[in-house]
Amino acid sequence: MNCNTPTDIVFSFTGFATRGGGTADHHDGWGIAFFEGVGVRLFVDHEPAVASPVAALIKSYPIKSKNVIAHIRKATQGEVALENCHPFVRELWGRYWVFAHNGDVPAFQPELDGPYRPVGNTDSERAFCYLLQQLRQRFGDQRPTLLVLTQALQELAAQIAVHGTFNMMLSDGSALFVHCSTQLHYVIRQYPFSTAQLSDQDMIVDFSQVTDRSDRVAVIVTAPLTQNENWIALQPGQFMVFIDGCPLPHAA
């Protein structure tokens, strides 16, 4: 989720978490990271999201954030363990970077000779460490402009995606970068707001009752979360950047 004003994710997370062992078989852990300014709250659990007391907290306690990345895991590479739960977090250029991946890239075995090493044994964390290593190699100690950064990430994501399936999300709290390898959808919720019905649970929300006119929220997800909203499918190979709830045109 990427928004122009701090927004809680209780509604979307409720539908999403149901897929963690409920309406879908992604039961090998889950995680969610909320940016609050430059700070991050990260919750990870190797229990299925439907059964996790930590997930229950998130569904009941509205944490407001402009950038949220959540993940429910179906282990394909790496065992079921806390250190293998997405999202992963590292620091680069004095900002936290949060990363989640759907798919697998087992054949991607880059040399990691920089300061970022995987703690667990997933191909996903390895790919994340590689991304950050390459950013540091290219740009040294200074974060480049958004445009230059976006081009670099797009190029790196395409490079990794050659080795398998690389649907991914990445954020440093100022923007949300996404790459679609096979499946990714987004919806923009903005004025005039309407009512949405979760696909995975009997839950409806009337966004016009809980928003201001100027609010804008982008939700990006593997498969659409609601039945009656205008979800747009990304194309294979497509890279997008969301800022303030808006897709950046140059990257669309």
Contact footprint for its own copies (CB under 8 A): 36-46, 53-54, 57, 61, 81-85, 89-96, 113-120, 136, 141
Q: Is the dihedral of CA 65, 143, 160, 231 positive or negative?
A: positive
Kindly state the smallest distance separating residue 7's Cβ from its own copies, in Å.
16
By C-beta, is 82 or 210 nearer to its own copies? 82
Query: CA 74, CA 28: separation in Å to the nearest integer?
Result: 5
By C-beta, is 40 or 168 nearer to its own copies? 40
Kindly state the smallest distance separating residue 46's Cβ from its own copies, in Å.
8
By C-beta, is 44 or 219 nearer to its own copies? 44
Kindly state the smallest distance separating residue 168's Cβ from its own copies, in Å.
19
Q: Which residues pair with 206 in a beta bridge?
A: 195
Kindly state the smallest distance separating residue 96's Cβ from its own copies, in Å.
6
By C-beta, is 129 or 225 nearer to its own copies? 129
Q: What are the structure tokens assigned to 71, written together? A: 């993940």
On the 0-12 / 13-18 / 19+ scale of CB atoms within 10 A, 235 is exposed
